[in-house]
Structure 1
């Protein structure tokens, strides 16, 4: 069961990494540092969008419209950290 705990923590860590990369890329694209017309940047950007939209869409439906500010990545990160805290506090169940 310890391995299940470690696998869950690994999946949460990977999800956190993808959300942070998506957040940073969105700012770099907004300030024209990156251009989505470049093939590699476009593939990474659209791939991250397809990967993270199923996570962001339910959060976006719940959050009020903030006038162009997307708080879905922040809420998703807080949710991931909350799940990690719950898993760490209940590690005795996995041993």
Structure 2
């Protein structure tokens, strides 16, 4: 059971990382007019990624101002997610595995 919980937490953190990366890539592609929102699939995918990442990024966007028009909050959040992942795997995961097997 402990291994399953550790796997689930790591998977959720990895999915959050990929969602933030994909959201940033989509925003760049929209900004440089490589893709547009008129394509229904692209619009739905971008809307889905925005709905997932906005609650995570918004508190950091309120605190961190854009630098020269570039939003660095995704970078800060990715660093924080990786920090949490390392912290969880080093401190909490062994305890969960030992207690729950």
> Mapping of 1:1-95 within 5 angstroms?
1-90=2-91, 91-95=93-97
Q: Distance in 2 between matches of 1:65 and 1:33?
A: 23
Cα deviation per residue 1:12-38 (whole Å; 9 max; x = unaligned)?
011111111111111111111110121
The Cα shift of 1:44 comes to: 0.9
> Is there any run of 5+ residues in structure 2 with no aligned partner, and where?
none
TM-score (structure 2 length as normaliser) = 0.86
Where structure 1 has 5 or more consecutive residues not aligned to the other structure, the ranges are: none
RMSD, aligned CA? 1.2
Q: Distance in 1 between matches of 2:22 and 2:35?
A: 13
Q: Which has the larger radius of gyration?
A: 2
TM, length-normalised to structure 1: 0.91
Aligned partners of 1:87, 1:40: CA distance in 2, in Å?
Answer: 36
CA distance, structure 2, for counterparts of residue 65 and residue 72 of structure 1: 8
Query: How many corresponding residue pairs?
Result: 95
Write out the 4+ residue segments of structure 1 that deviate beyond 6 Å after TM superposition. none
